[in-house]
Amino acid sequence: MPECLIVDVEIQTRFIVMGNLFCSEYPIHRRFDLKGSSHGRTTDKTKEEIDETTTLKDLDLNFVFRLQKSWFQDLIKYAVYFLFYLTLSWLLLGNE
């Protein structure tokens, strides 16, 4: 099950971090392929062409995420744990 983070905005928004496989009872309204880059990171579709099957990119994300301080600290802590896990897994697989 993917992890959900509910952020404080006018409407309820779920920010989901997941792998390539996804099955949930929640409908997907927008998909983003976020890589942390800005080079070539917008979709080539017009607003009218974008639907729930369109994969949007980094610069298409126009949300401001406001978190309580403790939630932000938890998010950073879990991100660090996750990156440590990925690094450790990479090393254990014999990659250097």
The pLDDT averaged over each successive group of 10 residues in the chain (96 residues) is 50 58 71 78 87 86 81 87 82 70
Distance CA(80)–CA(72), nearest Å, equals 12
The residue whose two tokens read 């928004």 is 13
**pLDDT value at residue 1:** 39
Residue 6, token pair as written in the block: 């509910």
Tokens of 44: 């080539």
Domain boundaries defined on the chain = 1-65, 67-96
* Contacts by 25-31, CB closer than 8 A, 24 or more apart: 27/52, 28/52, 30/54, 30/56, 31/55, 31/56
